[in-house]
Amino acid sequence: MADHTQIATLPFIFAELNESAESLHAQDINAQELLAIYNDYLSRINELQDIASLVANFLMRQEDVHAVRHRVKAPLHLLRKIIRKKKEYPERCLTTSNYLEYINDLVGVRILHLYKDDCYKIGRYIRQVWELKRKPYAYVKGEYTTLARQFSSDNYEVFINPKGYQAEHYIIKIRPNKQLYFVEVQVKTLFEEGWSEVDHCLRYHDHNPSELLNRLLWLLNQFTANADQVATQIRALVEELREYKHNPPLNSGITNAQLRSHINKLPVDEQEKQYLYTCLASITGH
């Protein structure tokens, strides 16, 4: 494991990255500048860890947030990202004076919540507390989904992910000691997080996954999406049923048909729905 407390040297950088001055030069990357970025970043690690904790603590105050995870990018991961992004943006030359302006995820914070619809309230909270570097963006499964339309109307950039990844991303600005940093905040349900973790672990070392693996991960994605949908309808049904039981239907405005509609939206077969309708009827008497 690399020692993050020691000033690095070029031989160390070359060995850890499996690169040479010549191979970096061929990619239009200056080895000395890369080394300077590494050592500058080392000097900022403690400050970034404090920022990660601060942002995480603020986010935990939002009532719909279930859990928050945070991390600070490892120094070698930063260099690998700079090398990788050079292929994507060949005109961009990162130096110690500008790399902080371009790298948005030196600090990464991940919010996990229970019910999909809560992402809107969490998003509003983030935008109220912090200024954003850019419009928030949402990854969705399809262009014509209810989620996609809602995000578009809320001024998000919407991206369709063919693998089924779903999450909302925010790049927030934070300025301790007059130095501007960017923090990437990801918002996901627990089920979305579970799928993305499995997907990442299985694909990470497999740059050309087989159709079998792709299909199995796609199926798992469908199961987790259904689980989110079921959780959402269960909550809505339970809340309306509680209101229905404690107030006469005419006063509460909640009808038996509304209660049944949540069961109807569940991604289960008709036999299971009929059983659930029967269970509901034993509670409501209808």
Amino acid, res. 202: L
Q: What is the CATH number of the domain that holds 22?
A: 3.30.460.10
- Same structural domain, 216 and 199: no
Two structure tokens written together for 213: 């693996």
Is 103 within a domain?
Answer: yes
Q: How do residues 107-137 score in pLDDT, each as one tens digit?
A: 999 999 999 999 999 999 999 999 999 999 9
In a domain, 50, yes or no: yes
Question: 200 Cβ partners below 8 Å, 6+ apart?
Answer: none
Same domain, 216 and 192: no
Give strand ranges (E) for 155-205: 157-160, 167-174, 181-189
Chain mean pLDDT for the chain: 92
| 3: in domain | no
Band of residue 251 on the pLDDT scale cut at 50, 70, 90: low
Q: How far is Cα 256 from Cα 263, in angstroms, rounded to an integer?
A: 11
Structural domain total, the chain: 2
pLDDT digits (tens, 9 = 90+) for 170-223: 999 999 888 999 999 999 999 999 999 999 888 876 667 789 998 999 999 999
Cα–Cα distance measured from residue 257 to residue 127, given in angstroms and rounded to the nearest whole number: 37
Residues 170 and 185: their CA atoms lie apart, in Å, by 5
| pTM (two decimals) | 0.89
Residues 240 and 258 in one domain: yes
Does 74 fall in a domain? Answer: yes
Q: Are residues 157 and 217 in the same domain?
A: no
Task: Provide the residue range defining the domain that includes 280.
Answer: 212-284
Q: Considering the domain boundaries, does residue 5 fall inside one?
A: no
- Based on the domain organization, do 134 and 252 belong to the same domain? no
Burial class of residue 163 (count of CB atoms within 10 Å of its CB; 0-12, 13-18, 19+): middle
